[in-house]
Amino acid sequence: MQPGLAKEKNCKPGWKFCLPVTLRRRNGLERPQRIFFAGVVTLLILARKGRSLSRVPPLFQETSVAPGLAAEVPRAWNSSTPRAFPMVSVTRAVFGDLPLGAGTVEKFQLQSDLLKVDIISWGCTITALEVKDRQGRASDVVLGFAELEGYFQKQPYFGAVVGRVANRIAKGTFTLDGKEYKLPINNGPNSLHGGVRGFDKVLWTPQVLSNGVQFSRVSPDGEEGYPGELKVWVTYTLDGGELVVNYRAQASQTTPVNLTNHSYFNLAGQGSPNIYDHEVTIEADAFLPVDETLIPTGEVAPVQGTAFDLRKPVELGKHLQEFHLGGFDHNFCLKRSKEKHFCARVHHAGSGRVLEVYTTQPGVQFYTGNFLDGTLKGKSGAVYPKHSGFCLETQNWPDAVNQPHFPPVLLRPGDEYDHTTWFKFSVA
């Protein structure tokens, strides 16, 4: 009998329908199965790897799974017991072409019932991130550009993955195994975010996943002055209201590695004039003072009694005014643990939106858009003046390659760089 769409009485809250299907194993045996989902606009069919779906109603034969993708289900799923998985759709489209036929940039849209994220293969860049407010209205909360050409101009790394080494390296030099390496100078006297042509300015190779997208590339030996070939994977996945970013790398010879995402957030919606009404908390007992070129002095200073004590929520505008600060562009020292730990929380009272950040990294660079000056024209004609966005760049400590008492930043052959950051959105 042709299965149909039925209201499922025993569905968990938020799951409205049940679709009976048959799972066909490779040995030809078939087994009935139910799939739960929230609505009929899009449907992501989750099946065990290597099996095919048969007897699916024609209405659902074209799903939101990208072409060529074999939908998978987590290995921990006990296939004998039907379970409900939050629906995530992944769509793929052309975003633009590189000059001189150098390649095509694709856009991948990940969507759950709570978030919608657009990511392009140029620099693994998050170009849009729509989050609902307490009234259920969605707004794009990251700064950026609607067209590819916007990312080719001089701009402050909007939404991009930066590397091979994020943040600053003093005077663009470091010594490794007795050899001095010289890097491009692109930020005052220092090297910033991997150099002139860092990971944000290259085309990555995408692979669609059931709930996200993985980008990969090989950074050749000597790229931007860094030693050794580096294989890199950056994976974005969506789980309800949580965007998860995983970074992995393997090196052919010892090299510094420090990867992060450089998204600028404004929880009132991108294009809002400032972030002064955002309430910020950072779980850090210490921070790194910097010199006039924003290189850490080497001191690991306690936040107690300073403007950098953000362990309890502060309203950003009032806090900057109280301490006569022009903004933050500092590393906050987190737990030195590779386990997932709480990093920061930002709340925008007007919309109710909340961003919580968790990470495996030992630091976070809190940056309040001090160098934005209103000259860039962003999405929907928005301009981005000073303090119109903030960054929470989870990473190793700046200039760690030159400061032996900072957390280790060197990746050696046979080891793997593996860090994850979770961006969890909610309303309050």
Active-site residue list: 262, 393
- The answer to whether 8 and 17 are in contact (CB under 8 A) is yes
Buried b (16+ CB within 10 A) or exposed e, 185-217: bbbeebbbbbbeebbbbbbbebebbbbbbbbeb
Q: How far is residue 304's CA from residue 231's CA, in Å, rounded to a whole number?
A: 41
- The closest of 180, 143, 136 to 159, measured between CA atoms, is 143
Q: Return the number of other C-beta atoms located less than 10 Å from residue 17's C-beta.
A: 16
Which residue do the tokens 């900057």 mark?
320
> Do 266 and 272 meet the contact criterion of CB atoms below 8 Å apart?
yes
Task: Give a three-class secondary structure readout of the chain.
Answer: CCCCCEECCCCCCCCCEEEEEEEECCCCCEEEEEEEECCCCCCCCCCCCCCEEECCCHHHCCCCCCCCCCCCCCCCCCCCCCCCCCCCEEEEEEEEECHHHCCEEEEEEEECCCEEEEEECECCEEEEEEEECCCCCEEECECCCCCCHHHHCCCCCCCCEECCECCEEHHHEEEECCEEEECCCCECCEEECCCCCCHHHCECEEEEECCEEEEEEEECCCHHHCCCCEEEEEEEEEECCEEEEEEEEEECCCEECECEECCCECCCCCCCCCCCCEEEEECCCEECCECCCCCECCCCEECCCCCCCCCCCEEHHHHHHHCCCCCCEEEEECCCCCCCEEEEEEEECCCCEEEEEEECCCEEEEECCCCCCCCCECHHHCECCCCCCEEEEEECCCCHHHCCCCCCCEECCCCCEEEEEEEEEEEC
Between CA 200 and CA 395, with CA 424 as vertex, the angle to 5 degrees is: 40
